[in-house]
Structure 1
Amino acid sequence: MKSQDLFSLVRKLAPEEYQSSWDNSGLQVAGEAQDCRKAAVCLEPTPDMVGRCLEWGAQAIVTHHPLYMKPKAPVGGQYAEVLRMVMKAGAWLYAAHTSLDCRPDGPAFWLGSRLGLANARFVETAHAFTPMEVSFHAARPLTREQAELWADREGVHSVSQSAAGEVRVVVDRPVWPSLAATIEFGMDARPEYYVRALEAPRESVGFGQVGELPEPLAWGDFLAELAGLVDREVFTICGRAPEAVSTVAYCGGSGSSLIDAATRAGADVFITGDMKYHPAVESELCVVDVGHFALEEEMMRLFAAELGERVDESVEVRFFEGTEPMAFHICAR
């Protein structure tokens, strides 16, 4: 499989248009390998993890966290070490960060699925997209095969052609670049497009999720179920614990900035990672910090499985398990 075709699949599963303005989702290091036979997926681009992926023979490595947020000189540290390793191997390094976090029904929302949350909605909406109407003139009538080839693509709402030869395509904005390439491949010359933004239907993407449990759980029973789902025995809990839990909000990674939004959404409890002192002091909502790693490691495991189902049979996709960087030590007195 061509490396660029692999990354086209990754971009469909984690559209770069979904990422936050401060983020650096996308290609981190351009490789030399034109073909990809082994693609590694992991959470963190550390030298140890990247070394394991390259030792396995990966031509492409897809991580969640970017190697860098802003361009910087490779003057030392883990950043420079990873650059040397990847470039020496001629491999590609790609990050699906907030582009994956925001994808509706994507693996970032695995916890809500396993809790069986009903009426699930975003804790915070990040972007709202409407489709595009693209029109162009085709010198010849579209064949049925051409129209079906374009219309059957995910994200394409309709394809039509007038008697005068004008073709109209209604398509989701993130899908248009790949569809345009397909259209131009089948044309004698690149057409001139007229593009119009529509007002509906409107697709929203965002961070975190809030919803209702199938039935209320006593606080202790809820913590026991949560412990089994995130494979943790120790949590950090702040705020006043409710007697029972009906409405749950959560956000993977560093989600403490969403506490107010979760409170407004009516959550009884908010689950996240990287809880900080001052938000903990000020929070009126009960917050359970299960750790950054616990929620996002499972997300990337699911993403690897999803990608493995989409690639052709020439590519092996493997998930590389990470190691929790935070450890608890209990002192005996």
Structure 2
Amino acid sequence: MTFIKEILTELEKLAPLPYQEDYDNAGLLVGSPDTEVTGILFTLDITEEVVDEAIRKHCNLIVAHHPVIFKGLKKLNGKNYVERTVIRAIKNDIALYATHTNLDHVVGGVNWQIARRLGLQNTKVLAPKKQILNKLAFFCPVANTQNILDALFEAGAGEIGDYRHCSFRSEGLGTFLPGENANPVIGARGDLETVNEHRVEVLLPAHLQAQVLNALKRTHPYEEVAYYMSALENENQEVGAGAIGELPEPMETADFLAYLKDSMEASVIKYTEPTGRKIRRVAVCGGAGSFLLRNAISAAADVYVTADYKYHEFFDAEGRIMICDIGHYESEVFTKNLLHDYISGKFSNFALCLSEISTNPVRYFS
């Protein structure tokens, strides 16, 4: 027996909700986390047709990339597709969950799916985020250091890129004088005590601060724990917008365009004047990505693959890079495969289905 909350826990390990943009509405949109899962349908968008598909396939949880409820709903009268979709889901006891910009921002997320389809190597975050890392420094008896660190690592501290259990320690003398109401583990009330201690420092994602501090206080032997937590300006190389990588071999522009169209199953590609260089370094951003053009140029990308470019924005390439707009749906539709594969590696006791419905509202005439 598996409950929706267990699915959400795994999804949010992949893409923590605090990594979503302020304007976003990722998370559980409809339904109770305490409901038992009968099946999951993975989709890019949630529409009435997708809810009907979930009903036919006996799936009571729909996991999507785009949140169907994006702005506040003041009424549920069924006057538009959003209201009708939500009403239909509620009437049929189907939970709706979206993992949106938080999935855009993580290694292994939306942009990594594009990179995999294009066969990119050495893929990295294009625009790493700042102000999402904290540093914890604390003091403890030397004999207790490792036990405390093990608990902090379990809580999510000490991870830097592909490295785990990262910390720094230095040894010194700590002093304290227990007051009359103190209950010291070491020493006695009224006596000045000197102890060999470690000063220990670890990095942690800011959104894990509470659980890391709980782990510190739970495992630290002292009645009063000496520590301080500070916010960092450092970029988190594992979290941010877009991605950049390299093709195994350079390609001529015409060959790359054909390869891109085939790999992403795009109907059309809008692109700027080629630079004359062969294509090797490729920057990508699923969905509307014009805001990352300068990052792509600064990273010496030969081409920038994204979507939703406006006419005047194409001029910004200025011969320094080739912009390829493959369409919003086309750039992100394979996110449903990413989510399906991720969850299938965690659960196998109920149906996991890929939506067969194209939710692309755009049509092409050729």
TM range (shorter): 0.7 to 0.9
Task: Give the alignment of 1:86-101 within 5 angstroms.
Answer: 86-101=89-104
Q: Distance in 2 between matches of 1:249 and 1:7?
A: 30
Match of 1:203 in 2: 236
Q: Pick from 348, 352, 365: which aligns with 1:317? A: 352
**How far apart are residue 231 of structure 1 and its match?**
1.8
| 1:96-135 paired onto structure 2 within 5 Å | 96-131=99-134, 133=136
| 2:335 counterpart (299, 308, 328) | 299
Question: Which digits, 9 at most, give the CA deviation of each residue in 1:198-243, with x for residues without a partner?
Answer: 6598633111112332322111121222122112353112244534
What corresponds to 1:273 in structure 2?
307
- Does residue 6 of structure 1 match 2:7? yes
Contact 1:208 1:249 in 2 (8 A): yes
Q: 1:103-131 CA distances to partner (integer Å, 9 max, x unpaired)?
A: 11334312323434344333323345325
Taking the aligned partners of 2:110 and 2:335, their CA distance within structure 1 comes to 5
Shift in alpha-carbon separation, 1:31–1:57, aligned structure 2, 3 A: farther
Deviations 1:264-301 (A, max 9, x none): 22222111112211112343232111111122111221
C-alpha change, 1:54 and 1:206, in structure 2 (3 Å) is same
| Equivalent position of 2:172 in the other structure | none
Q: Secondary structure at the match of 2:46?
A: coil
From the superposition, tell whether residues 329 and 198 of structure 1 become closer, same or farther in structure 2 (CA, over 3 Å). Answer: closer
CA distance in 2, matches of 1:26, 1:262: 30
Matched, 1:226 2:227: no
- Larger displacement relative to structure 2 (43-52 or 241-250): 241-250
The answer to whether the 8 A contact 2:127-2:240 is kept is yes
AA of the residue aligned to 1:316:
A
Equivalent pair of 1:107/1:303 in contact (CA under 8 Å): no
Is 1:329 matched with 2:365? yes
- My pick for the range that moved more, 196-205 or 108-117, is 196-205
Task: Give 1:96 deviation, angstroms.
Answer: 0.3
Pairing of 1:41-120 with structure 2 (within 5 A): 41-74=42-75, 75=77, 76-120=79-123
Q: CA deviation at 1:59?
A: 2.1
Q: 8 Å contact 1:29–1:92 — kept in the other structure?
A: yes
**Post-superposition shift, 1:43?**
0.5
After TM superposition, give the deviation of residue 27 of structure 1 in Å. 1.9
When residues 2 and 289 of structure 1 are mapped into structure 2, their CA distance, relative to the original with a 3 A threshold, is same
Instruction: Give me the CA root mean square deviation.
Output: 3.7
SS in 1 for 2:13: helix
Letter of the structure 2 residue corresponding to residue 308 of structure 1: S
Match of 2:333, SS state, is: helix
Structure 1 CA distance for aligned equivalents of residues 29 and 136 of structure 2: 32
Q: Letter of the 1:218 partner, please give it.
A: E
Q: Distance in 2 between matches of 1:90 and 1:153?
A: 34
Larger radius of gyration: 2
Residues 199 and 260 of structure 1: CA distance in aligned 2, closer, same or farther (over 3 Å) = closer
Which residue of 242, 248, 262 corresponds with 1:214?
248
1:178–1:89 distance in 2 versus 1, CA, 3 Å: farther
Gaps of 5+ in 1: none
Q: When the two structures are aligned, how many residues end up with a matched partner?
A: 321
Extract unaligned runs of 5+ from structure 2: 159-164, 170-183, 187-196
Counterpart CA distance in 2 for 1:107 and 1:123 is 13
CA contact (8 A) 1:297 1:322 kept: no
Residue 26 of structure 2 contacts residue 102 of structure 2 at CA under 8 Å; is this kept in 1?
yes
Moved more, 199-208 or 146-155: 146-155
8 Å CA contact retained: 2:242, 2:283: yes
Q: TM-score, normalised by structure 2?
A: 0.73
Cα distance, 1:77 vs structure 2: 0.3
Report the equivalent of 1:20.
21
